Structure 1
Amino acid sequence: MTAASFAASDYLHDDGTPRVGAPMGMLLSAHAAMRGSVTALSIADRDLTFAELDSATNRLARRLASIGVQNGDTVMICMRNRVEFVQTFYAAWKLGAMPCPISFRLVASELAELERLVQPRVVVADIATAFSVSPVLEADALGLHEFSDEPLPPAVAEPGKIIASGGSTGRPKLTIDPVPSIWGPDKASTFRPAMITTVNAGPLYHTMPYNYCILPLAEGSTVVSMERFEPVEWLRLVEKHRPHSVNLVPTMMSRIAKLPETVTRNADLSSIEVLFHAAAVCPADVKRWWLDRIGPEKVLEVYGGTERIGSTMIRGDEWLAHPGSVGRPPPSDEIVIIGEDGRELPPGKIGEISFRRRGVGPGTKYRYIGSETRIRGELDSFGDMGWLDDDGYLYIADRRTDMVVVAGVNIFPAEIEAALERHPDILCCAVIGLPDDDLGNILHAIVELAEGTAAPQDAGEFLAVQLLQLAPFKRPRSFEFTQERLRDDAGKVRRGALRAARIDDGRDQATKPSM
């Protein structure tokens, strides 16, 4: 299994950029041939050049082939951020197999459900990860030395990949991306030039790190990825590697902004040309901190999803004129806000955010495993709620599934969480609805405190300033304080699981505010 004749120029232009239609696996080999000594990937204490990364990936592809992986199969990837994650992604592509990254944080029952739905040919996983049915290759014991590292013949996976949702609303959801594993406009970005340096802070199983870690390698870029996000370490890596582009989620942005000013003031972030953020609504005060820190023209916010049913984008300087907005769609997309009765709503009215993608019928770009789409005629939706202003700028209220109905009134937790997170000693907050015989639900806030902050005796006094920013009916009736992380490294919070745990085990950790 060796390429009969390999020429990097078949896959790369003279300037090193990928040719449209080039198989993703061959692009890695092409960069290894042209720029083999350049650092491709740096994670923790491991640095690999393009030659070293491609060599290990070719060996791994042959290792996978030796146990039966072939074109059209699925390779499930379940591990922490490490070089073997990236190697497995590209090794699958080199065989024409679909990579399917999933979160290593899922519990056994969730892993079993995903395994049943995907039916992978093999799982490549951390040692600690257990699977019951599929054959497993342990990342620490791949045994690659006996396999050739020569380039393989071109191969294309179609569909190109399967991505599992972060599971912010409960059961994980699998999205099949039918776009094949070849270079094209769907993978390129004007905000992520070729042959740059990027720093990735998120978990590699998530969509945004895919765009800022997996794809840049095909463009010859140097990718620096954290094992796990830590704000001071992120600052150190940026100063050391001088990246052109970085990707963060609002939780990470907040934790960096809340570091002592002596730490953030002295950090050199001048190399950053693009700070790309998505995955959740960014609190306004956190957003303004970053706009002031690196310049509003360098901060880019995107609203969209793995399904690519539609998107919006807004730059920081544009956001200052439309604070709180996630931007407007490109010319190819149209946003329609749909009310409960299925009719289109005018500007200023909250409804379900739906997209109409011109020239592309709904459902032609993706399909789910284990879930139903929200396609209605020409419209499709991520299930989020929001509104448009008179200029066509979109604002997110919350996910429909996270909305809490209190005494017949729709309340969106994201707004409350953003207000509470303005407290300097609060890192994160999750607001859920708990059953109430009188009101149907009451609002309960789970508050993640900064390290060294003791749980207050009086929640109302502790949060007095923040609560006054909320209408009385939006103020939580009860609170609990913790220093356990509420959001995962992808910025997702599983409110459904938090609610179920508090109902099922009957815990009473709440303290009511004195107002």
Structure 2
Amino acid sequence: MAKQTLAVSDYLHPDGTPRDGAPMGMLLSAHAACRGSATALVIGEQELSFSELDAATNRLARALAERGVKNGDTVMICMPNRVEFIQAFYAAWKLGAMPCPVSYRLVPGELAELEQLVQPRCVVGDGSVQFEASNALNVSDLSLDGISGDPLPPAIAEPGKIIASGGSTGRPKLTIDPIPSVWGPDKASTFRPAMITTLSAGPLYHTMPYNYCILPLAEGSKVVSMERFEPTEWLRLVEQHRPHSVILVPTMMSRIAKLPAGLTRAADLSSIEVLFHAAAMCPPDIKRWWIDRIGAEKILEVYGGTERIGSTMIRGDEWLAHPGSVGKPPPSDEIVIVSEDGSELPAGAIGEICFRRRGVGPGTRYRYIGSETRIRGELDSFGDMGWVDDNGYLYIADRRTDMVVVAGVNIFPAEIEAAIERHDGVLCCAVIGLPDEDLGNRLHAIVELAEGVAAPDDGFEFFAAQLQQIAPFKRPRSFEFTHERLRDDAGKVRRAALREARIGNG
């Protein structure tokens, strides 16, 4: 095969920023061609220049092509944070295939269900989890020696990517991003300039690290990703790499803030211009700690989702004037609070938070596999409850009425409840989140026992077989047993009322 000639000017402006419409895979190659020795990626002990990262990614893309991956296929990616995760993402794009990152923490049954939904041409992992797919590539055992690292021809994936998560029914859900894998306004951010240094602490299969690890590489930025979050190590990495932008979830912010005061005071955080946080509500005392530590104008909180149906943003200094708010929407979005019957509610009234996004046509709207959307005419919703004040600032009343956010991870109770209810002695189960100083919420299971079944002394032992059917991070931290009915005559479990009663009881 003839060596691919790369015209950098086709993909980058003279100042090195991406051109709209440039294929994502070619942007990595373009930065390698014009500033190849610059550091691109740091994860753990590994540090790769743009030239090294692009060449390794091109080799991996060719290895995927040898396994039959082609334009329009899907590549599932499942492994802990490591350089091969990002290489696999870009390798899929270089072939015009859709990357689909999934959590490596899922149990085999959950992974198998996702495989059935995704139908990947190839699964890329590191051997830490096993797949049913026969066409799986283990990067830990893979040798790319003898495979060319030269740039590949331009290719575009359309749709651009697939993000997997748990659905509101407790079953896996896939969110398909219809926007092709080319640079454009959907990928750019005013708060993440080109050619900076970013630091990400979260798992790469989430949307936030996508925005601060995958996308910055296309802008020529240096990306530092933690293998796993540890608060003292985070401080060390900030001092070593001097990031411009960092992303955290509130649990991480809390763990850093609660380190010994001498340690946090001594740490030099002066390089941080943007601390971006989302995924859960941040406790006010923790938010104020960070405002005092790095400055209110540097802290940005965002409310939104993978589906991009709408968003709000609030800066720290705004938050001080409107404590508890998640901000206002941009001019392209309008917030509408609706009641259960779909009628619009006035300021101050709690209802479902809906967005009306202007200029969103059928070709740019997400779609689900494994779940139904909440689209109603011009309105769409994440399913959260909240209200707006007289000034248009949004406040969250409940993060999706049934969902529990634990350490920034969305967990839906239905799957956990279904597993516990498989026990012969159980009639019904309701899983709720109770406040936790470290995690934000902890999972608590309220179990309705069958008549004649005595409450066990140890819920973990009682449900040992059932708990093995769900991932460890989804397992309840505590159990409560009752013979009172949990469901009403309509078959509904009022989880909000159950949670309120237990918080009120201490």
| Shorter-chain TM band | 0.7 to 0.9
What is the one-letter code of the residue matched to 1:229?
F
Choose the corresponding residue for 1:498, options 468, 476, 480.
476
**Where does residue 47 of structure 2 map in the other structure?**
47
Distance 1:382 1:362, change over 3 A: farther
Amino acid at match of 2:298: K
Counterpart in the other structure of 1:118:
118
Cα distance in 1 between the residues matched to 2:105 and 2:221: 29
Asked if the contact 1:309–1:362 (Cα under 8 Å) also holds between the matched residues in 2, the reply is no
Q: Is the 8 A contact 2:445 2:480 kept in 1?
A: no
Structure 1 residue matching 2:227: 3-state secondary structure: coil
Task: For residue 93 of structure 1, give the secondary structure of its aligned residue in structure 2.
Answer: helix
Whether the 8 Å CA contact 1:274–1:298 is kept in 2: the answer is: yes
Structure 2 residue 446 is the aligned partner of structure 1 residue 434: yes
Match of 1:173, SS state, is strand
Aligned residue number for residue 457 of structure 1: none
Quick check: 154-163 or 125-134, which moved more? Answer: 125-134
Structure 1 unaligned runs (5+)? 405-411, 438-486, 505-510
Structure 2 contact 124–136 (Cα < 8 Å) conserved:
yes
Going from structure 1 to structure 2, the CA distance change for 1:309 and 1:362 (only over 3 Å counts) comes to: farther
- Name the SS for the 2:343 alignment partner: coil
Between the aligned partners of 1:299 and 1:169, the Cα distance in structure 2 is 34
Report the aligned-residue RMSD: 2.7
Q: Which has the higher mean CA deviation after the structures are superposed, 136-145 or 265-274? A: 136-145
- Distance in 1 (CA, whole Å) between partners of 2:176 and 2:301 is 24
**CA 1:140/1:336 → structure 2, altered by over 3 Å: closer, same or farther?**
same
* 1:357-381 C-alpha deviation (Å, 9 max, x unpaired): 1122578410011111011111100
The code of the aligned residue for 1:401 comes to D
- Please tell me whether the aligned partners of residues 446 and 479 of structure 2 are also in contact (alpha carbons under 8 angstroms): no
Cα 1:500–1:134 shift into 2, 3 Å: farther
1:264 equivalent in structure 2: 264
1:456-482 per-residue CA deviation (whole Å, 9 max, x = no partner) reads: xxxxxxxxxxxxxxxxxxxxxxxxxxx
Judged with a 3 Å threshold, the aligned counterparts in structure 2 of structure 1 residues 413 and 273 are, in CA distance, closer, same or farther, namely farther
Map Cα deviations across residues 87-145 of structure 1 (whole Å, 9 max, x no partner).
00000000000000000001111100000000000000021210113411112122211
Question: Residues 4 and 261 (structure 1 numbering): CA distance in 2 closer, same or farther, change over 3 Å?
Answer: closer
| Structure 1 contact 3–153 (Cα < 8 Å) conserved | no
**Residue 166 of structure 1, CA deviation:** 6.0
* Distance across 1 between alignment mates of 2:13 and 2:262: 46
TM-score when normalising by structure 1: 0.81
SS in 1 for 2:179: coil
Q: Secondary structure at the match of 1:165?
A: strand
Q: Is the 8 A contact 2:443 2:476 kept in 1?
A: no
> What pairs up with 1:236-251 in 2 under 5 angstroms?
236-251=236-251
Question: Is the Cα contact below 8 Å between 1:76 and 1:123 reproduced in 2?
Answer: yes
Q: 1:167, CA displacement in angstroms?
A: 6.3
- Gap change, CA 1:108 and 1:77, over 3 Å in 2: same
Aligned to 2:291: 291
Partner of 1:369: 369
Q: Secondary structure at the match of 1:88?
A: helix
Judge conservation of contact 2:445–2:476 (CA < 8 Å) in 1: no
Cα distance between partner residues in 1 of 2:292 and 2:166: 31
Partner of 2:13: 13
Q: Compute the TM-score of the two structures, normalised by the length of structure 2.
A: 0.82
Cα 1:72/1:502, change in 2 over 3 Å? farther
Aligned to 2:389: 389
Show CA shifts across 1:366-403 (max 9, x none).
Answer: 00111110111111001111111111101111112249
CA contact (8 A) 1:201 1:225 kept: yes
Q: What is the rounded CA distance, in whole Å, between the counterparts of 1:111 and 1:431 in structure 2?
A: 22
Contact 2:257 2:289 in 1 (8 A): yes
Structure 2 residue aligned with 1:62: 62
CA deviation after TM superposition for structure 1 residue 429, in Å: 3.1
- Structure 2, unmatched stretches of 5+, are 405-412, 414-430, 450-470, 483-501
CA gap 1:500/1:256 in 2 versus in 1, 3 angstroms: closer
Q: Residues of 1 paired with 2:68 and 2:343: CA distance?
A: 51
The aligned residue for residue 468 of structure 1 is: none
* CA distance in structure 1 between the partners assigned to 2:298 and 2:289 by the alignment: 13
State the distance in 1 between where 2:503 and 2:54 align: 57
Paired-residue identity, % = 73
Q: How many residues align?
A: 442
| 8 Å Cα contact 2:11-2:26 kept in structure 1 | yes
Question: Which residue number corresponds to residue 401 of structure 1?
Answer: 402
The answer as to 2:328 corresponding to 1:350 is no
Aligned residue in 1 for 2:154: 154
Residue identity matched to 1:400: T
Say if 2:252 is the partner of 1:252.
yes
- Matches of 2:225 and 2:441 in 1, distance apart? 26
Contact 2:445 2:478 in 1 (8 A): no
Tell me, in whole angstroms, the C-alpha distance in 2 between the residues paired with 1:277 and 1:513: 29
